[in-house]
Amino acid sequence: MDRSDLSEPLFALEAHRADMGETTIADLFAKDPQRFADFHVALDDILFDFSKHRVDRVTLALLLDLARAAKLEKRRAAFFAGDIVNPTEYRPALHMALRNMRGTPMQAAGFDVMPEVLAARRAMLAFAEDVRNGRVRGATDQMFTDIVNIGIGGSDLGPAMAAEALSPFIAPHLKLHFVANVDGADLADTLKGIALERTLFIICSKTFTTLETMTNAAAARKAVAAKLGEAAIAAQFCAVSAAPEEVAAFGIAADRRFLFWDWVGGRYSVWSSIGLSLAIGIGAAQFEEFLRGGEAIDRHFVEAPLARNIPVLMALIEIWYRNFWDYTAQAVIPYDQRLARFPAYLQQLEMESNGKSVDLAGTQIESATGAILFGEPGTNAQHAFFQLLHQGTEIVPVDFLVAVRPTAANLDQHRLLLANCLAQSAALMRGRPQAEVEAQMRAQGVSEEEIASLAPHKTFAGNRPSGTFLLRQLNPRVLGELIALYEHKVFVQSVVWNIDPFDQWGVELGKGLALQLAPLVADKNAPLDGLDGSTTGLLAQLRKWSAR
């Protein structure tokens, strides 16, 4: 981050980083026993505790100076005004309109999008209710029991994550399935366990040309036609797309085509008709609660002072670690099995958005941008990669997420889950000094020789930062709030880094090469001229084994 307009706050933060020296998080608590009171923000049914991060009041003040120097408030206003914030694709990014429940005007390049948004939402939710209640049926006049969402990227990760997170709210007579991988095993394994005559397929593709999605859609269409006849396609399929002509050519009736717009990025599309599978599962009323959760965070992001603004704080703390402490990764650990797909969802949201190496002007960025994000539900993660988090050479800040009240789960087990979550964040911060380990071993009667040998292995350095999101209960509204918090966190980071978080040109190169290589994989006699040595060798071996 070498922009001249940021030089003063950057210099101040570098100096502050040096001043902090060996001050630990535990030291910060020792100096201020009431630290938690000033280092948490409560909003509706979410509490964000950032007291276990390696920040003090000076750190936060300097980070807020950095945000203001980057003109965050001005850029935020332009974002919500529908200005072109995705300059490489000449588009606004107005996914907030999709969860605008009041219908107040929102502009995309000078055009009020809300009449279209509200009409599309009404049509989608009405259809969802009709499917859910059996008023819309399949070709053999049977109620749908299985919903298969065919998409990829945001058209899969969003609804798949949300459906798993909100599984207790899904109607008991319905099962939701999600097919994304062009690997035929994905679709084949899904179709194996369902009755096609009771299955509704939802094809989700903005352009209706996405290779993986349309390959799976064609295979599903073929399976339905083979069993139920070509005429059944209209009854068993619907689509969500911004390309109505392509949808019509597939054979999907006009009243089963649901719209979204080019100003909706794929990774922000779960709020749109891309959420149709979720809306069928949980019902229109609960889907609207999901939208209200996102809308509540939009208001918070716009209205709350920066110093008490949760997505702003999330973003700035990660920038502090990424750019001033050289921490390369971020872990998200939901202590909720139903949030198992949430880290994967955030991987796309954060790494596709801010995984950029040039700024808005196309100039190479000299400092680090997006971190590597990973995660897994606790307590599974404790028995996997937490060893590295506690004693590894890399320091990885962690977001913990846990609900106070369980949803359709055993209360005693949930209390144990809560204890584990709180214990892990405390252990990461406190660690266990070698003197404490040695004293404990002596109290157990261990010999001095064995103490000398084993104590270093049982010592934890501690001082590993984490934040905790305490949820009252995981429900549609709270899930909407969580997703929107991370969305706006990504935007704030992009403003400070001066990058475009709404394009994803890095995805395109591999897709283009795959289209070039597909004929060479299919035709064993096609020449391999012009390829690199590795690809040529791999294709040659592939052809050899395929022939056998």
Assigned token pair, 525 = 């006699």
CA distances from residue 525 to 186, 519, 520, 540 in whole angstroms, order as listed? 29, 10, 8, 10
* CA distance linking residue 375 with residue 354, whole number of Å: 18
pLDDT at residue 109 in the model: 79
Name the residue among 466, 467, 335 with its Cα closest to residue 403: 335
* CA distance linking residue 285 with residue 18, whole number of Å: 52
Helix (H, G, I), strand (E, B) or coil at 290: helix
Assigned token pair, 309 = 């603004």
Inter-residue contact 397 to 53 (CB < 8 Å) = yes
DSSP assignment of 399-422: EEEEEEE-SSS-HHHHHHHHHHHH
β-strand partners of 334: 401
Q: How far apart are the first and last CA of the chain?
A: 55
pLDDT at residue 507 in the model: 86
Fold of the CATH domain 95-289? Rossmann fold (3.40.50)
Inter-residue contact 332 to 469 (CB < 8 Å) = no
The C-alpha angle 533, 539, 544, rounded to 5 degrees, equals 125
Q: What is the pLDDT of residues 229-278, one digit of tens each?
A: 999 999 999 999 998 889 999 999 899 999 889 899 999 999 999 999 99
Helix (H, G, I), strand (E, B) or coil at 34: coil
The verdict on whether 511 is a catalytic residue reads yes
The verdict on whether 53 is a catalytic residue reads no
Domain 4-69+304-430+464-503's class?
A: alpha beta
Catalytic residue (choose from 31, 227, 511, 544): 511
Inter-residue contact 123 to 536 (CB < 8 Å) = no
Inter-residue contact 494 to 316 (CB < 8 Å) = no
The verdict on whether 295 is a catalytic residue reads no
pLDDT at residue 17 in the model: 97
Catalytic residue (choose from 74, 173, 222, 383): 383
Radius of gyration (C-alpha) of the chain in whole angstroms: 26
CA distances from residue 160 to 105, 164, 237, 468, 507 in whole angstroms, order as listed? 30, 6, 18, 24, 21
Work out the number of other CB atoms within 10 angstroms of the CB of residue 437: 18
pLDDT at residue 97 in the model: 97
Name the residue among 258, 250, 194, 249 with its Cα closest to residue 227: 194
Q: What is the strand order of the sheet 466-473 is part of?
A: 40-43, 46-49, 466-473, 398-405, 329-334, 372-374
Q: What is the pLDDT of residues 512-530, one digit of tens each?
A: 898 899 999 999 999 999 9
DSSP state of 392: S
Work out the number of other CB atoms within 10 angstroms of the CB of residue 99: 24
Instruction: Tokens 């280092």: give the residue.
Output: 39
Please tell me whether the peptide bond between 379 and the residue prior to it is cis, using omega within 30 degrees of 0.
Answer: yes
pLDDT at residue 212 in the model: 93
pTM of the model: 0.96
pLDDT at residue 305 in the model: 98
User: What are the residue ranges in the chain where pLDDT is below 70?
Assistant: 1-2
Inter-residue contact 254 to 240 (CB < 8 Å) = no
Work out the number of other CB atoms within 10 angstroms of the CB of residue 401: 24
In this structure, the dihedral spanned by the alpha carbons of residues 216, 217, 221 and 224, taken in order and rounded to 10 degrees, is 70
Instruction: Return all residues near 114 (Cβ < 8 A) that are at least 6 apart.
Output: 97, 100, 103, 104, 105, 106
Catalytic residue (choose from 288, 295, 318, 352): 352
Q: Where are the alpha helices (DSSP H) in 70-208?
A: 72-80, 114-132, 154-165, 184-192
Name the residue among 479, 79, 439, 67 with its Cα closest to residue 293: 479
Name the residue among 169, 367, 156 with its Cα closest to residue 276: 156
- What burial class does residue 302 get, using C-beta atoms within 10 Å of its C-beta: 0-12 exposed, 13-18 middle, 19+ buried? middle
Task: Report helix, strand and coil shares of the chain as percent, to nearest 5.
Answer: 55, 10, 30
pLDDT at residue 371 in the model: 97
Assigned token pair, 314 = 């999330």
